[in-house]
């Protein structure tokens, strides 16, 4: 009987200990919440946000979900399909666009992030129905093969030439290193980039 009483008291003590720990955790959490103030509501994915995107020199007013990528909006809402959906995790470069003149992956950029910035897609490099210098150089050097990732490669070269109008071979390799070509047309791409630099310099650096 004495052993049973001791075991019973120990069980009660363990329950009391666990209850005390639980109560302390709740009190601590409540105190922390009180210090931080009221919790901000996280916007639901389906909530639409108004944005104005400047794409290829034209402003577009849109309602977007916070989760929508720039790539999705360009293709599905604005009908600009040159930027391609490839890996959609920032590795292949098929979705490359210029944002304020700098190449960026549209699949890794939220549409809302691009508000107030200048977005340029492959369509924006056209001069009416005429090809831009980089597009022309790619055509002349047959630098596309299957062509699926070519728009991203052209945009990458365009961005590189805006930063470095007379690039060295190493600068060209680095400039297109974020764009993969499954057809292995890299030698043609390098030559096209060099020709594009010459064409742009011949036009006085015109874009």
Q: What is the pLDDT of residues 90-113, one digit of tens each?
A: 999 999 999 999 999 999 999 999
pLDDT of residue 127: 86
How distant, in Å, are the alpha carbons of 45, 73, 85, 205 from that of 93?
26, 17, 9, 25
Predicted structure pTM score: 0.76
Higher local confidence (pLDDT), 7 or 89: 89
- Residue 192 makes CB contacts below 8 A (sequence gap 6+) with 134, 137, 138, 140, 141, 143, 157
Task: Provide the CATH topology of domain 126-207.
Answer: DNA polymerase; domain 1 (1.10.150)
Beta carbons of 104 and 158 less than 8 angstroms apart? no
Q: What are the sequence ranges of the domains in the chain?
A: 1-40, 41-120, 126-207
Q: What share of the chain is helix, strand, coil (3-state, %, to 5)?
A: 50, 15, 40
pLDDT band at 182 (very low <50, low <70, confident <90, very high): confident
pLDDT of residue 31: 52
Pick one of 3.40.50.1820, 4.10.80.400, 3.10.20.30, 3.30.420.40 as the CATH number of 41-120. 3.10.20.30
């Amino acid at each position: 009987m004495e052993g049973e009483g001791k075991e019973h008291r120990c069980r009660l003590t363990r329950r009391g200990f666990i209850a005390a720990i639980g109560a302390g955790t709740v009190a601590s959490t409540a105190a922390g919440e009180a210090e931080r103030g009221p919790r901000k509501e996280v916007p639901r994915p389906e909530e639409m946000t108004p944005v104005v995107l400047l794409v290829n020199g034209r402003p577009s007013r849109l309602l977007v979900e916070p989760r929508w990528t720039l790539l999705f909006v360009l293709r599905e809402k604005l009908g600009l399909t040159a930027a391609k959906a490839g890996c959609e995790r920032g590795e292949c470069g098929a979705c490359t666009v210029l944002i304020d003149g700098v190449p960026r992956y549209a699949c890794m950029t939220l549409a809302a992030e691009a508000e107030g910035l200048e977005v340029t897609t492959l369509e924006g490099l056209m001069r009416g129905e005429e090809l831009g210098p980089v597009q022309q150089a790619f055509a002349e050097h047959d630098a596309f093969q299957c062509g699926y990732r070519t728009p991203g490669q052209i945009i990458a070269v365009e961005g590189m030439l805006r930063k470095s109008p007379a690039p060295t071979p190493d600068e060209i390799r680095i400039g297109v290193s974020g764009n993969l070509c499954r057809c292995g047309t890299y030698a043609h791409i390098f030559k096209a980039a060099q020709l594009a630099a010459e064409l742009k310099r011949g036009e006085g650096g015109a874009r």
